[in-house]
């Protein structure tokens, strides 16, 4: 009898353990579902928006890091006005130019923060956007001859197109452009476009 009683007690104990385990498991599942629901209802942008990242940028003691911080923040928020928080004109200029390149929008190069630093800086802004957009027509807007040639040279490298070199006004720059494309593509025929004989010979030597 005692054996039968003991066996029944063991069965009851096991049954209780199984029931408890099932309930615990159900509780975990329900609790997890509740937490997931709460996470779904949480507005992450709103939550992160409570952090004053602009202040974090302003508190950075290093000028370069501070300017990079503002530029990154402006792009992540898609908000050009963040650039105006930079302490000086150079910081604002950097931020505006980075934003212009990210958006591939030359109109930003015509903002006061860029124009106030002069035509040369505006030309650099145009050049940066031209490369970002891979749009040679933007190079045409550049006023400075040297900056314009540099823009064409860089565009030729990006596009790997020797015909872009034709637009470079400086002969030295144009020959260098042809050489770069010839070497990159291992194409000696591009060297034939070079006017200066020594430069042409050097190009052919590099391609061989």
Give per-residue pLDDT as tens, 98-144. 999 999 999 999 999 999 999 999 999 999 999 999 999 999 999 99
> What pLDDT is stored for residue 30 in this prediction?
40
Q: pLDDT tens digits, residue range 139-151?
A: 999 999 999 999 9
- Residues 64, 134, single domain; the answer is yes
φ/ψ region of 135 (left if φ > 0, alpha if ψ in -120 to 50, else beta) reads beta
> What pLDDT is stored for residue 51 in this prediction?
58
As a whole number, mean pLDDT of residues 154-181 equals: 95
Q: Tell me if 126 sits within 8 A of 109, measured CB to CB.
A: yes
- Residues 94, 117, single domain; the answer is yes
> What pLDDT is stored for residue 29 in this prediction?
40
As a whole number, mean pLDDT of residues 180-192 equals: 95
- Residues 208, 183, single domain; the answer is yes
- Residues 162, 93, single domain; the answer is no
Q: Answer yes or no: is 173 within a domain.
A: yes
pLDDT confidence of 56, banded at 50, 70, 90?
Answer: confident
* Distance in angstroms (rounded) separating the CA atoms of residues 75 and 62: 20
């Amino acid at each position: 009898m005692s054996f039968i009683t003991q066996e029944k007690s063991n069965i009851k104990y096991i049954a209780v353990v199984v029931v408890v385990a099932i309930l615990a498991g159900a509780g975990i599942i329900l609790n997890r579902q509740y937490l997931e629901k709460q996470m779904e209802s949480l507005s992450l942008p709103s939550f992160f928006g409570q952090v004053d990242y602009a202040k974090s940028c302003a508190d950075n003691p290093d000028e370069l890091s501070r300017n990079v911080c503002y530029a990154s923040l402006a792009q992540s928020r898609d908000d050009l006005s963040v650039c105006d928080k930079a302490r000086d004109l150079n910081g604002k200029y950097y931020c505006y130019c980075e934003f212009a390149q990210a958006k591939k929008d030359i109109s930003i190069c015509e903002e006061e923060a860029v124009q106030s630093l002069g035509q040369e800086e505006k030309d650099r802004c145009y050049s940066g956007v031209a490369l970002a957009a891979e749009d040679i027509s933007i190079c045409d807007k550049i006023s400075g001859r040297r900056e314009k040639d540099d823009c064409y040279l860089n565009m030729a490298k990006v596009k790997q197109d020797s015909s872009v070199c034709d637009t470079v006004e400086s002969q030295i720059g144009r020959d260098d452009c042809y050489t770069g494309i010839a070497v990159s593509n291992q194409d000696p025929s591009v060297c034939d476009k070079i006017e200066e004989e020594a430069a042409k010979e050097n190009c052919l030597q590099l391609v061989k």
